């Protein structure tokens, strides 16, 4: 039924494909980072291992690729909340290899999730921390992944008067607006003990005042404190609205986000579906390149696919069950 592409070693905990799905990065419990490549030029053949090295002391829990405009590079998030940026590069007549070019760590809190985006030709890294903070870093030199600058820092709250110092977050999920060539916006949701932080909010950069503003909150009034497992912003190939999927313990909701802000600067939102499927934690949600099919995985160990039908009704279209 499915074609096997690759077997990975014992202890592999995470994997991530690059923009063109031709390279796979994998991380292990012991901090080993490996790269697998398809033969070039494209063929259907299996992948071959082209790099393997221990890059971290602890468990690598997530790998995120940097946009290809900045080379072949990844961010590895470890279980202890440290982010290492690794880049494949030829330097000073040494052979091509992956090198750590930057490490992000914070004494007080752990990094839970990072995502990259490009706005006004600058690379941005959005990072969510275990204390409920979101930090945005900007790359200073387009050819150097070493030099970053903190652009902004804020908590994921709409009406921010007080800061929630005691917040403890288990996980966070960030998803950037995949639309290229415009000022970036992203959505972030937390799974924490502080209800105000949890609900997923859309943040947009306000050019005029050079600051990030929350422009929408994707939760019904009664669900605002719900812990968020995962968020995913769908590619928009021409719809007059954005589609964003949010997973909480109540299920999977599909939101429409309007494009034109009201007088308060808020974008209109509408929850068009609440779907149940995974019966618990949702691990990951991914939209296909048309933004029409959503794939999800979760605690029940299934892969589920969701689509909207001709009448605009969202439903589960198929599911995959791993069997040995």
Partner 1 sequence: MAVTANSETSQIHRFPQYKYIDAVRWLPVLSAFNRFAVLATFDYDSDLSSIEIHSFKPNPISFEFQSSWNSPSRISSLKASQFLQKTVIAASTSSGSLHFLFADSSDATLESEVSVPEDELHSVSESSIDLMDGGVECVTVGDDGRVNLVTVGNSNLNYRRLFDSGGLVSYTAVKWASPVEFATGGYGFGLHWWDQRKPGGPVSQFKGNWDKNLTSGIVHSIDIHPSRKHTCLAGGSLGTVLAWDLRWQQQPIILSGTGAGDGNTAVQSISESEVWEVQYDRCIKSNTSSTRILPSMICSEDGILGVIEQGEESIELLAEPCAINSFDIDRHNPLDVICSLEWEAVAILTRQ
Partner 2 sequence: MSPNTVGNGALIPFSGDTTDSLAVYPLHHDLARPISRLAISWSRGNSLRVSLFAEPSVNPNTGDGAKVVEVKLGGGDPEITDADWRRIAYGSVAPFALLQSRRSSLSELSKSPSPYHLDWWEHVLQYSKDITSLLGGPKLSPSLIIEDPNEIVQKNEEPTCLKAAWELMEIFYVDKQSQAWLPERLVDWLADYDSLFTSTQETIHGKLVDFQNDLVNIQVIEDDPRYWEVMSSALSVGWLDIVVKMLRLHGSYQLDQLSNRELENGLVEAVAVLISKMPRLRPESVVGNLGECFKSKPDFIKAWEKWRSQITKLDCSPFWIQCDNQQTREGLRDLLQVMLGNTESLCTASCYWIELYVSHFLYIRPFTIGIESMYNLAQKCIQLKPPTGTHRLTELMIGILEENTEVVLAEISREFGPWMIAHAVELLTAGSEQAEILLHDERDNLGGISIVELHRLAYAQILSSHTLTWQIAPIYLTSCMKQGMGLLENLLYRQSVQHKNTLLKNIEICRLYELDHISSNIMKVAGVYHWKHGRKGAGVYWLQQSQDTSCLDRIAQQLFDSVGKSISDESFKQWEGIIELLGSESKPAGGLEFLHKYRDFKKSLQMVYSGKSTDAARQAVGSLIMLMKNPSTPQRFWLPLLYDSLKLLNWKDSPLLSVSETNLLLNKLQELSLARQRPHFTEPSLPPQAPSSIRLALATNLGRAILDE
Sign of the CA dihedral running 292, 297, 298, 302:
positive
70 secondary structure, DSSP code: G
Structure-token pair, residue 280: 């618990």
**Binding at 297: pick from partner 1, partner 2, none (beta carbon under 5-8 Å per type):** partner 2
Q: Does 181 bind partner 2 (CB under 8 A)?
A: yes
**Binding at 308: pick from partner 2, partner 1, none (beta carbon under 5-8 Å per type):** partner 2
* 137-196 positions binding partner 1, by CB under 8 A: none
Plot region of 218 (φ>0 → left; ψ -120 to 50 → alpha; else → beta): beta
Q: Does 283 bind partner 2 (CB under 8 A)?
A: yes
**Binding at 24: pick from partner 2, partner 1, none (beta carbon under 5-8 Å per type):** partner 2
Among 57, 80, 141, 270, binds partner 2 (CB under 8 A): 141
d(CA 79, CA 77): 7
* 231-250 positions binding partner 2, by CB under 8 A: 235-241
d(CA 228, CA 203): 16
β-strands 133-141, 144-155 pairing: antiparallel
d(CA 254, CA 239): 15
Q: Does 57 bind partner 2 (CB under 8 A)?
A: no
Q: Does 151 bind partner 2 (CB under 8 A)?
A: no
Shorter beta-carbon distance to partner 2: residue 138 or 286: 286
* 8-47 positions binding partner 1, by CB under 8 A: 39-41, 43-45
Contact map string, positions 96 to 135, toward partner 2, x by CB under 8 A: x------------------------x--------------
**290 to 103, 172, 230, 234: CA distances (angstroms):** 34, 25, 20, 8
* 72-131 positions binding partner 1, by CB under 8 A: 90, 93
**Binding at 225: pick from partner 2, partner 1, none (beta carbon under 5-8 Å per type):** none
* 63-82 positions binding partner 2, by CB under 8 A: 68-72
Q: Does 309 bind partner 1 (CB under 8 A)?
A: no
Q: 3-state DSSP call for residue 218?
A: coil
**Binding at 45: pick from partner 1, partner 2, none (beta carbon under 5-8 Å per type):** partner 1
**Binding at 65: pick from partner 1, partner 2, none (beta carbon under 5-8 Å per type):** none
Strand order in the sheet with 251-257: 228-233, 242-248, 251-257, 269-275
Q: Please list the residues that pair with 286 across neighbouring strands.
A: 295
Largest CA distance in the chain: 60
Closest approach of partner 1 to the CB of residue 141, in Å: 21
Shorter beta-carbon distance to partner 2: residue 105 or 315: 315
**202 to 69, 85, 159, 167, 272: CA distances (angstroms):** 25, 26, 13, 20, 17
**Binding at 292: pick from partner 1, partner 2, none (beta carbon under 5-8 Å per type):** partner 2
Count residues near partner 1 (CB under 8 A). 8
Q: Please list the residues that pair with 305 across neighbouring strands.
A: 295, 318
Strand order in the sheet with 23-28: 12-17, 23-28, 32-37, 48-54
Among 1, 108, 161, 208, binds partner 2 (CB under 8 A): 1
> Footprint of partner 1 on this chain (CB under 8 A)?
39-41, 43-45, 90, 93
């Amino acid at each position: 039924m499915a074609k096997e592409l690759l077997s990975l070693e014992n202890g592999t905990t995470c994997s991530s494909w690059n923009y063109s799905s031709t390279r796979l990065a994998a991380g292990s419990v012991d901090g080993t980072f490996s790269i697998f490549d398809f033969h070039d030029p494209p063929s259907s053949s299996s992948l071959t291992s082209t790099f393997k090295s221990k890059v971290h002391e602890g468990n690598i829990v997530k790998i995120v690729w940097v946009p290809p405009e900045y080379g072949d590079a990844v961010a590895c998030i470890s279980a202890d909340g440290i982010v290492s940026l690794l880049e494949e590069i030829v330097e000073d007549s040494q052979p091509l290899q992956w090198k750590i070019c930057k490490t992000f760590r914070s004494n007080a809190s752990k990094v839970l999730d990072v995502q990259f985006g490009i706005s006004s030709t600058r690379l941005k890294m959005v990072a969510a921390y275990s204390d409920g903070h979101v930090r945005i870093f900007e790359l200073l030199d387009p050819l150097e992944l070493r030099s970053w600058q903190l652009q902004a820092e804020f908590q994921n709250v709409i009406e921010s008067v007080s800061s929630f110092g005691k917040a403890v977050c288990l996980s966070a999920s960030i998803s950037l607006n995949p639309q290229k060539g415009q000022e970036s916006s992203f959505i972030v949701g937390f799974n924490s003990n502080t209800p105000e932080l949890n609900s997923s909010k859309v943040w947009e950069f306000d050019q005029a005042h050079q600051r990030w503003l929350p422009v929408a909150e994707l939760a019904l009034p009664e669900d605002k404190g719900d812990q968020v497992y995962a968020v995913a912003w769908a590619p928009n190939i021409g719809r007059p609205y954005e589609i964003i999927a949010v997973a909480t313990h109540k299920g999977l909701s599909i939101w429409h986000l309007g494009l034109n802000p009201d007088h308060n600067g808020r974008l209109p939102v509408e929850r068009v579906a609440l779907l149940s499927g995974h019966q618990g934690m949702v691990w990951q949600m991914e939209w296909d390149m048309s933004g029409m099919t959503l794939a999800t995985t979760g605690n029940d160990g299934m892969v589920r696919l969701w689509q909207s039908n001709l009448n605009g009704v969202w439903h589960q279209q198929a599911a995959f069950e791993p069997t040995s």
